[in-house]
Structure 1
Amino acid sequence: PRRSVAVLGFTNLSGDAHEAWLSTAFSDWLTTELSAGGQLRTLPAENIARMKAELALDDLESLGRGTLEQIHKDLGTDLVVAGSYATLGANPQIRLDVRLFDTQSGETLYADSETGSQEGLFDLVSRAGEQLRANLGVRKITKEEAVEVATALPSNGEAARLYAEGLSKLRAFDALQARDLLQRAVEAEAGYALSHATLATAWVQLGYDENAKAEAKKAFDLSSNLSRAERLLVEARYHESSRDWEKAAEIYRALFQFFPDNLDYGLALANADYKANKWKDALETLAALKTLPVPLTDDPRIELAEGDAAMPLGDTKRAEAAYLSAEQKARASGASLLVATAMFAHAWLLEKMGRLDEADKAIHGARDLYLAAHDQRGVADAETGEAIALMFRGDYFSARERYVEALGIHQKIGNMHSVAGEFHNLAEIALFLGDVRGALQKSQLALQTYQEVRDDNGMALAKIGLGDALFAQGKLFEARKMYEESLDTCRQNGDRDREADALMGLGQVLRAQGDSRAAWESEIRAKEVFQEIGNKMPEARAELRLAQLLLDRSENNEAVKSIQRAEGLLAKTTSPRDDAEARILLAQTLMASGKIPEAKENVSRAMQFAERSHDLDISLMSRMMSARIDAVGGNTVQRKEAAKRLNAVAQQAKTAEFVYAALEARLALGEMELKSGNPKAGRTHLETLEEDASGQGFQLIVQKATAVLGAVENQAALRVRN
């Protein structure tokens, strides 16, 4: 493999903040000089910026043996270029001091200075690059390569400064200021391709995908004079911004074949395959990267990508082993931000598997590392991860606090994509706590923000949230529209996890509308998707939805089997809300079988969760079931008391705008009145309910009310005949 070299940067000896941009500019220009001709493998500036944050590396003028050893462990580079610069005299001249270090021996291989004018900065770097290439035994660049190098640099001094300052902000996790600076750089020199390409990256980090696509297209259109490798990179990133992952993968494959020792090209290829849902192809590429020589094969990013690719294939064991290996390798190399990334990825997996205590530990560890590196986006993501674990446990108030903290950070740094995500998360919490209007408001904010950044997948997520809130309000047609629009988008974009969520939402609407067959098909398909991608908790929820449909048909034995399958999936997880829902359904089957004590025990456990979490939906369902059980197994006094409780549930559900729950409670109350010696009131109650439910499209309630009235009439006719 080629020798690798990392240009770390240059210390500003004058201390003048107006000249700080030169450190970034000199580094990028010198990297371009050294990479010309492809004889050296120069390391990407993004990797170097990460390493400098991890090692808190500020002094670039003198690097000791210990520091060089750390750099070698972190980056795996053979050589390092660093130094300093200063302004000299009244008629400003710039002196650039350049040093070349061997990271393994710790020796200084070369040191020299070049001096030039402010107007001749490019020539200054060109001379320094020529001397470095000579000392490295690398041939001089050809005339053609010199032209490519020249076109890879801004021709306008003001544009060069703004571009370098924008790059510096972007590498310091400040995409908001980077965007502003890069927009000014584009205004100063509209024909410079790399300003547009870097501005596209800033837009991506801020969540504005369409803006990123537009800038990436401009960069591509202006890239004809760049070197072949640089031109292909610009094109690949344009295809990425257009979500044309297959074309992006083709280009990265060509780059990787041409430069097989370039790990970053291989990782980019694996990522493009992953985004294109070609997870097995991604794993094949990553297997090839593992055959590269040391230290390339020890890069923890290989295992990180392997874990990501194994997840959608349902291979959670491989994913977990990969994340743990990535963390171990990152620790060994001192790459603390990669340690944080591995810990956070592992935490997401642990949450999906319901191992929340382990997830908490990983999230807290990642958060501390992000804080130490001043990575605010990472800190916010860790807050979100912690909130999700709290939500799974049913601690909704604490989860809400974490989401609000994460929202504040994302708003501060301008990451609008994540701002929208936090609005969606807060909508989910609001609905659990019974605040339907709050859930609608937050979901609408999420949708508006996703629309602002033109994120189709995000809009699909927000529409699922809107569908959930609209369903609770009893607005079935509007809810169905949201779920169907979300489903169409997910299928177009290949987002299978979210597709299954939309199918589940659609299934509950179809059930309420009385279309049992279509609801069954929707829930079955959701379950199959969750099985295929290995997502256990949502699969359990889909199984419970199927159990509910079976209970609607009075197929109690089959319903029990579905509930047991769901409980089996939930047994190794921590999801008390899903467990409570399973117990309510199981109580219904036990009541139908006359097993009243067992039914009471299960519904009591569900009520305990509702009281602890303040989950209104679970509270309404469990109290409704408790009253029904008491009415079936109790005396006259207990039945009257149960009727009062059902009436209270119906009133609370109506006040909270949980329309379907209110209709369910009224149905149970009417049935109870019919069977408790008050047939006239029961009949009137159920006939009114039929009319109300029909007007709102709840045909399932109409069907159930009609069935209860019909059963009573049949019993009366039978008594007359007898």
Structure 2
Amino acid sequence: MALDRTGGDADHRTGCGRKVTNHFRRKRRSRQERSFSLGYRCLCPRHPSASSPESGNGAGSYTDLGSRSGGQVRIDFRIQDAATGETIASVAEVGTENELFQLIARAGSDLRARIGASEVSAVDQAIVRASYPSTPQAARFYAQGSEKLRLYDAIAAKALLERAVAADPKYPLAHSALAMAWSALGYDARAADEAKTAFELSGNLSREERLLVEGQYRELSKQWPLAIDIYRTVFDFFPDNLEYGLKLAAAQSSGGKPQDALSTLASLRKLPSRLGDDPRIDREESQAFNFLGDYKQQLAAASTTVKKAEVRGARLLAASAQLGKCYSLAALGTNKEARPQCESAKQIFASVGDRNGVAMALDFTAQLSFGDGNLAESKRLDQEALGIFHQTGNRRRMGTALSHLANVTWQEGDLDGALRGYAAALANFQEVGDRLNVAAAKDNLGSVHYLKGDLKVSQNLFQEALSGFREVGSKTSVANALENLAAPVSSQGDLEGARKMLEEALAIDRKQGVKSEAAWGLAGLGDIDLAEGKLDDASRNYNEALSIRTEIGEKGTIAESQLALAILALERGQPAETETRIHEAREEFRKEKQIDDEMLADTVLARAFLAGHKYAEAQKEIEAGKGFVAKSQNRANQFQLGIAAAELQAARGGIEQARQSLLAILGEANRTGFLEYQLKARLALGEIETGSGKVAAGHARLNALQKDAAAKGFVIIARKAAHADDQKLASK
């Protein structure tokens, strides 16, 4: 079991689904789409910019004349020569508080007339008016809400911004800021609705601001191609604007184009030194590498972000990047080095009162404990994080924590409990309209149902997840869902359909440059090749997957590739090589507490010993595998262990007991629809029958099996059936 990728957020980033393969070796991390994004990007609303003259200074003051004056105020403005300090012009206006913005407008017009500047056009006046609230009350609530957003107090910000919207329902920037607050609280649907309202009211804003409001709407609505195009347009107009470039890069990463994001960030590095050196560029680079599954580069960029942010005193940015370091170090299999990064980030968040940040750090640390096999600590930390998310109202992150708790329940062997946990997470994601994580939760539910042997239910859930990922345009998630969907499809006998899914997934992963995911596609194709008897093709795909995993340093998946190659060696009649590879892989499985993989490794090693007639050694491995049955409800692994145990029992003279065991396995495989294990159980029965004097029955069984297996594409089983039958006929 591995860490989740991020977030979870459908800021696209926490979660990653458990990977299902044909042999169902490794269960990948639960999905909360996708990656590790922490939600610290662009929380602050943009205020209308004011130009400053190069040759003069503007100064001003106001006086509140008190309650007895009926709410009157006096405003004074002066323009001074910047070189001499001489006052060039001054004006004063008196009126009521409710006329504040009209007073400012009149004063500005008078000043322009006194210095000989042209009048502001009616169109420009409309643009300026649209950029500010129409009432002082709306302005006050908007300013206070914006300040709360800057302090990451989304609950307080939402309440204030709702009052700003009530005070001035037609002010687009208040709606835009409220959309950010809803998004920070994890309410994606409400955020998108509010952003849409802002967009619909933005007609009188300047073109620049109108595009930014629309870009936010498209982004929160997960309309990534449109968001990317809009932010690119703005950035093309203002190529020296760092903020706009960062918005574009973030949308490109989230929209499935992390390579384009890296290009955008490279252009930002060419800005003047202080801008081009901004640590947020490195942070976005870290995010892009995360989407690409390049954890070494992600770690390097996150480390640079921390250093630069600390120099600039940007503590929250440094803490965010430290969580990025924590995630990438864990993904590279170095949990010990990851833990201090999470702890340091938590301390920074706590020092500034950022409770959501504290909870995210706790959640990340819980995943480290999960990876170390300390399930009790993982559960404790995630329950603490869940409590904080509940208090802060962050429903999306509540869904993430619930998913992680379900992972623990799954690992404890309680699949029904895991189903309840993922269903609760799904309900949270559905409530906030987080379509991406709704699909991710269905992906998780599909994985558990596959383990339980509910192939049809699993297939339907994977198909729903796939449709959801396609709708929101998450390409790497589409690839992951295709890889998972291939498992129940192939298990039910449609190898060609599964191959097409895996090839589509691999093409997506390669185009996106996501190395880790591409390795999963290659491993899945190797499984199909093996079933179809294409051993050289299987070897090529397995070895390419191993090469990628070695390059990016994924220790757990390296061991899985070793296990796949061990199975391949056994099919090639090389049990000694199988033994060597299994010993290497199993040690890593034990370190990572991957009990399903360790159980399968025991089974494969028992088969290798059985092939070498080392029955005592084989029995030891069978017993070791049986020790995991109470902890693992992996139906496919149970079938494989049961078949191997029956074959050993028959080899040691327990023919009838072995036969009864295999008939029971065959019945269960028929009930659950696992065609592969139906065929394997029939093969073992035929071999036992022909070897125990029931030649006619064995011959009939093997002959029928050969035809059925060949018709479904399970060529390796068809060959074994033919070979066993030919051997018995020749001996006869």
Who is 1:218 aligned against? 197
Q: Give a deviation string over 1:640-663, Cα, whole Å, max 9, x none.
A: 77776666666x37xx64333333
Instruction: Please state whether the residue corresponding to 1:519 is helix, strand or coil.
Output: helix
Cα distance change, pair 139–419 in 1 and its aligned pair in 2 (3 A): farther
Q: How does 1:392-541 map to 2 (within 5 A)?
A: 392-541=371-520
Quote the offset at 1:457 in angstroms. Answer: 1.3
1:433/1:616 contact within 8 Å kept: no
Instruction: Please state whether the residue corresponding to 1:440 is helix, strand or coil.
Output: helix
Who is 2:23 aligned against? none
Who is 1:339 aligned against? 318
Q: Bigger shift: 445-454 or 302-311?
A: 302-311
Quote the offset at 1:419 in angstroms. Answer: 1.8
Matched, 1:175 2:154: yes
Mapped partners of 2:386, 2:115: distance in 1: 50
Q: Give a deviation string over 1:340-389, Cα, whole Å, max 9, x none.
A: 34444454444444455554454444333333333333333333333444
Quote the offset at 1:444 in angstroms. Answer: 0.9
Who is 2:673 aligned against? 697
Who is 2:651 aligned against? 675
Q: Give a deviation string over 1:78-102, Cα, whole Å, max 9, x none.
A: 999999998957667779999999x
1:395/1:613 contact within 8 Å kept: no
1:159/1:189 contact within 8 Å kept: yes
Who is 2:357 aligned against? 378
Which structure has the higher relative contact order (CA within 8 Å, separation 6+)? Answer: 2
Mapped partners of 2:383, 2:218: distance in 1: 35
TM value normalised by structure 1: 0.75
Cα distance change, pair 138–215 in 1 and its aligned pair in 2 (3 A): farther
Matched, 1:201 2:177: no
Quote the offset at 1:174 in angstroms. Answer: 1.6
Quote the offset at 1:464 in angstroms. Answer: 1.4
Cα distance change, pair 523–388 in 1 and its aligned pair in 2 (3 A): farther
Q: Give a deviation string over 1:254-310, Cα, whole Å, max 9, x none.
A: 444544543323333333444444445544444443443454333332333344445
Q: Bigger shift: 569-578 or 136-145?
A: 136-145
Cα distance change, pair 714–247 in 1 and its aligned pair in 2 (3 A): same
Cα distance change, pair 326–666 in 1 and its aligned pair in 2 (3 A): closer
Matched, 1:685 2:657: no
Letter aligned with residue 494 of structure 2: D
Mapped partners of 1:254, 1:330: distance in 2: 29
1:355/1:574 contact within 8 Å kept: no
Q: Bigger shift: 609-618 or 446-455?
A: 609-618
1:658 to 630, 634, 647: 634
2:241 to 262, 276, 301: 262
Quote the offset at 1:462 in angstroms. Answer: 0.8
Who is 1:17 aligned against? none
2:250/2:284 contact within 8 Å kept: yes
Cα distance change, pair 494–137 in 1 and its aligned pair in 2 (3 A): farther
Letter aligned with residue 706 of structure 1: R
Q: Give a deviation string over 1:64-88, Cα, whole Å, max 9, x none.
A: xxxxxxxxxxxxxx99999999895
Q: How does 1:15-414 map to 2 (within 5 A)?
A: 32=48, 35=50, 118-122=97-101, 144-279=123-258, 281-309=260-288, 312=291, 322-354=301-333, 356=335, 358-414=337-393
1:670/1:686 contact within 8 Å kept: yes
Cα distance change, pair 294–669 in 1 and its aligned pair in 2 (3 A): closer
Q: Give a deviation string over 1:416-466, Cα, whole Å, max 9, x none.
A: 222222222332333233221122111111211111122221112111110
Mapped partners of 1:225, 1:326: distance in 2: 38
Mapped partners of 1:502, 1:348: distance in 2: 22
1:544/1:563 contact within 8 Å kept: yes
Q: Give a deviation string over 1:505-554, Cα, whole Å, max 9, x none.
A: 22222232233333344345444544444444444444444454455456
Instruction: Please state whether the residue corresponding to 1:252 is helix, strand or coil.
Output: helix
Mapped partners of 1:670, 1:705: distance in 2: 10
Cα distance change, pair 87–166 in 1 and its aligned pair in 2 (3 A): farther
1:649/1:665 contact within 8 Å kept: no
Cα distance change, pair 314–680 in 1 and its aligned pair in 2 (3 A): closer
Q: Bigger shift: 150-159 or 460-469?
A: 150-159
Unpaired segments of 5 or more residues in structure 2? 1-43, 81-88, 696-727
1:670/1:683 contact within 8 Å kept: yes
1:432/1:617 contact within 8 Å kept: no
Letter aligned with residue 445 of structure 2: L
Mapped partners of 2:391, 2:237: distance in 1: 42
Q: How does 1:610-649 map to 2 (within 5 A)?
A: 615-625=594-604, 627-629=606-608, 631-632=610-611
Mapped partners of 2:306, 2:59: distance in 1: 28
Letter aligned with residue 679 of structure 1: I
Q: Bigger shift: 207-216 or 349-358?
A: 349-358
Quote the offset at 1:124 in angstroms. Answer: 6.7
Letter aligned with residue 697 of structure 1: G
Q: Bigger shift: 402-411 or 463-472?
A: 402-411
2:486/2:497 contact within 8 Å kept: yes
Quote the offset at 1:475 in angstroms. Answer: 0.4
Q: Bigger shift: 362-371 or 119-128?
A: 119-128
Quote the offset at 1:473 in angstroms. Answer: 0.8
Letter aligned with residue 668 of structure 1: A
Quote the offset at 1:142 in angstroms. Answer: 5.5
Unpaired segments of 5 or more residues in structure 1? 1-26, 42-77, 102-109
1:417/1:449 contact within 8 Å kept: yes
Mapped partners of 1:319, 1:84: distance in 2: 51
Who is 1:106 aligned against? none
Mapped partners of 2:344, 2:111: distance in 1: 41
Q: Share of identical aligned residues, percent?
A: 31
Letter aligned with residue 142 of structure 2: Y
Mapped partners of 1:136, 1:260: distance in 2: 33
2:458/2:488 contact within 8 Å kept: yes
Mapped partners of 2:347, 2:658: distance in 1: 61
1:396/1:613 contact within 8 Å kept: no
Quote the offset at 1:584 in angstroms. Answer: 4.5
Quote the offset at 1:156 in angstroms. Answer: 4.1
Instruction: Please state whether the residue corresponding to 1:247 is helix, strand or coil.
Output: helix
1:631/1:642 contact within 8 Å kept: no
Task: Give the length in aligned residue pairs.
Answer: 646
2:439/2:465 contact within 8 Å kept: yes
Cα distance change, pair 646–282 in 1 and its aligned pair in 2 (3 A): closer
Quote the offset at 1:141 in angstroms. Answer: 5.5
How big is the alpha-carbon RMSD for the aligned residues of Structure 1 and Structure 2? 4.5
2:563/2:581 contact within 8 Å kept: yes
Mapped partners of 1:147, 1:213: distance in 2: 26
Letter aligned with residue 669 of structure 2: A
Cα distance change, pair 130–598 in 1 and its aligned pair in 2 (3 A): farther
2:440/2:465 contact within 8 Å kept: yes
Cα distance change, pair 193–89 in 1 and its aligned pair in 2 (3 A): closer
